[in-house]
Structure 1
Amino acid sequence: MRRVLAVLAVALALGLAQRAEVSGGSPFGLQGGVRLVLVPFLVEGRLYAGTGAGASGGGADLLLKLPLTDLYLGLGGFLGTGPSLTLPQEGRGQGGVRAVLGTWLNLPLPLLGVFAELHPTYYPATGGLGLGGGIGVSLGF
């Protein structure tokens, strides 16, 4: 039943998505996802999944776009497994909460965007803090 719900959620997200994204960086290395417009020109949602040498998993972010700028702020959560997320308790996945500080890089390309982000992260299971980042390419529909 869980797999059916997961497939249904992904299919609905792809149907409602405004942008498809591929990025490299925290928390999972190589990630793919979609952005959904929740409030036009103001609030977006992002769903992503990824895998890398250190971890694999997925998450969701709620992003607030700052009007008249290319900046956005957000808050999200993720759940994953792998040595980079589970040290010192290797093998037991964990989740985290992250803030997102991002900007779009101004490139004169139609329907194609490049973005850079910083991710201050909190791991509730261990009480640890971290700082990550990422850079990605976004294809608009």
Structure 2
Amino acid sequence: MVRVLAVLAVVLALGLAQRAEVSVGSPFGVQGGLRFPLVPLLLDGRVYGGAGLEALGGGADLLLKVPLTDLYLGLGAFYGTGPALTLPQDARGQGGVRAVLGTWLNLPLPFVGVYLELHPVYYLFPAPGFGLGGAVGLSVGF
């Protein structure tokens, strides 16, 4: 039953998704995910999962687009089975909340976008702490 629900959730997410994304950076190393509109031209949702040398995990973000710019801001949460990637190294944790500060790079590629993100992170466990991460990603529109 759990497997059927997981497959159903993935199929429905693919049906609602606007873009597929792959990024390298925090929190887990290499991530793959889906971005879908919640409020057209204003608010997107993103779900992702990833794997790195030390961690495996996933998370979700709400991303607010800044009108008339290529910038977006967001809040999200994540959880993994190992330490996430951020600086300083002693602030690494397995789960927490993060802010997302991102921008799209203006490249003349149809249906393909490249983005950069900065992630201020507050780890909730195994020990509370702050960290700072970042990511660069490739996004393909459907």
**Length-normalised TM-score, structure 1:** 0.90
What is the rounded CA distance, in whole Å, between the counterparts of 2:3 and 2:134 in structure 1?
Answer: 30
Matched ranges for 1:1-141 at <5 A: 1-84=1-84, 94-125=94-125, 126-141=127-142
What is the rounded CA distance, in whole Å, between the counterparts of 2:13 and 2:138 in structure 1?
Answer: 18
> Alpha-carbon deviation of 1:54?
2.2
The total of aligned residue pairs comes to: 136
Structure 1 stretches of at least 4 aligned residues deviating more than 3 Å after TM superposition: none
What is the rounded CA distance, in whole Å, between the counterparts of 1:62 and 1:123 in structure 2?
Answer: 18
Amino acid aligned to 1:135 = V
Mark the runs of 5 or more structure 2 residues left unpaired by the alignment.
Answer: none
What is the rounded CA distance, in whole Å, between the counterparts of 1:31 and 1:130 in structure 2?
Answer: 19
Alpha-carbon RMSD across the aligned residues, in angstroms, is: 1.7
Please give the secondary structure, in 2, of the residue aligned with 1:62. strand
What is the rounded CA distance, in whole Å, between the counterparts of 2:37 and 2:76 in structure 1?
Answer: 16
Amino acid aligned to 1:76 = G
- Is the 2:63–2:72 Cα contact (8 Å) retained in structure 1? yes
Identity, % of aligned positions: 74
Amino acid aligned to 1:80 = G
Mark the runs of 5 or more structure 1 residues left unpaired by the alignment.
Answer: none
Does the C-alpha gap of structure 1 residues 2 and 123 become closer, same or farther in structure 2, counting only changes over 3 Å? farther
Question: Greater shift after overlay, 1-10 or 127-136?
Answer: 1-10
Render the CA deviation track for 1:27-65: whole Å, top value 9, x for unaligned. 010010000001110000001000010211110000000
Amino acid aligned to 2:65 = K
What is the rounded CA distance, in whole Å, between the counterparts of 1:128 and 1:31 in structure 2?
Answer: 23
Does the C-alpha gap of structure 1 residues 83 and 120 become closer, same or farther in structure 2, counting only changes over 3 Å? closer
- Is the 2:28–2:56 Cα contact (8 Å) retained in structure 1? yes
> Alpha-carbon deviation of 1:84?
4.5
